[in-house]
Amino acid sequence: MSSVHLNNIVKRFGAVTAVHSTSLEIPEGAFVTLLGPSGCGKTTNLRMIAGLLDPTEGEILIGGKRVNDVPIHKRNLGLVFQNYALFPHKTVADNVAFGLKYRDVPSDDIATKVQDALELVQLPDVGDRYPKELSGGQQQRIALARAIVIEPDVLLLDEPLSALDANLREDMRVELKRIQERIGVTTVFVTHDQSEALAMSDQIVVMSDGRVEQVGAPEEVYNTPASEFVANFLGASNILAARCTRRGPEGVDIEAPTFGKLTVPAEKAPNLGSEGPAKLVIRAEKLLVSRDEAPEGVLSVPATIEAVDYQGQAVRYFVRADDTQLQAINMIDQHPFATGDAINLHLRPIDCAALPGD
């Protein structure tokens, strides 16, 4: 296992800067996800770590050693790509053994290591088959077995689950995290899927337009977004123009449309000053749609349901309170409210976050 450091990395393609000055520290043994929309620079960073691209500026260190000039085959990295890149004319065992044969591992040891890797991914009996004889999920596991059999210092995963259907993706992300924890390898995972990042990561690096927006544990970036982009990209958020009137040791006083005066916990508004423009961030699942009166300490405002997005166990409501349209995602037992229903919106101030305003 090795840590990975990016020190002021820049990548340009002609006149286009794909990655602006980026510094990251990926701890040894951690599962770190680069998360963001297409074109944000996450895969470019991964490919520079792998040695598939050279940085224009800055340096990359793996295990404390500078690797800018070290070719990919000498970096001892495990790679899994979106399309798996399995050799169709080779058996599963030969696919898994591919990296070992180029490391001069004795043939007897190769057979043992291949079988151990297949057992780790829970496919011990498919060594004689060919990739076309396997399902997509099985092929994904074989690609993972090929990456980990060489005992890499770092495992690099470029959207490896994106080709799978929704149910299989959920199963595989649990399995992938289990394997990573079992072998303890430092892992860099690239995805645009927020649920994958939140479920699997020790640390999330949110990127936008070639820049790092925020780095932190999943619960940190979700509950305390550092920017409006992070708040919108991870989950569904209501962001209201507001005003900060006072900052104290315990909380920040905010005046917001529809909800009036409320106090946001200080730790959920770390970048907000004592007075001035602010943005109130309300996660959609923190707004409760109800016909009941609010309990003590909970804000309540009347609203009308304008649209209903039924999702099975949950439903997303688009509601209007005064002149403000909001969205609320609630779990339901039976039937959702209907368009046109008059309801109350309940909100606990401790569930809100706040950002500096424009």
Closest to 224 measured CA to CA, from 181, 270, 280? 270
Q: How many CA atoms lie within 13 A of 69 on its CB side?
A: 0
**pLDDT, tens digit only, all 358 positions of the chain:** 689 999 999 999 999 999 999 999 999 999 999 999 999 999 999 999 999 999 999 999 999 999 999 999 899 999 998 887 899 999 999 999 998 988 888 888 999 999 999 999 999 999 999 999 998 889 989 999 999 999 999 999 999 888 788 888 888 888 899 999 999 999 999 999 999 999 999 999 999 999 999 999 999 999 999 999 999 999 899 999 999 999 988 899 999 999 999 999 999 999 888 889 999 999 999 999 999 988 888 999 999 999 999 988 899 999 999 989 999 999 987 789 999 999 999 999 999 999 999 8
Tokens representing 211 are: 């820049």
Give the pLDDT confidence score for residue 295 in this predicted structure.
Answer: 87
> What domains can you pick out in the chain, each with its CATH number?
4-223 (3.40.50.300), 236-356 (2.40.50.140)
Q: Which ranges constitute the DSSP H helices of 20-105?
A: 42-50, 92-101
Beta partners for 233?
Answer: none
- The reported pLDDT for the residue numbered 1 is 63
Cβ proximity of 92 and 127 under 8 Å: yes
Closest to 112 measured CA to CA, from 98, 93, 86: 93
Q: Per residue in 197-211, is it b (16+ CB within 10 Å) or e — as a string?
A: bbebbbbbbbbbebb
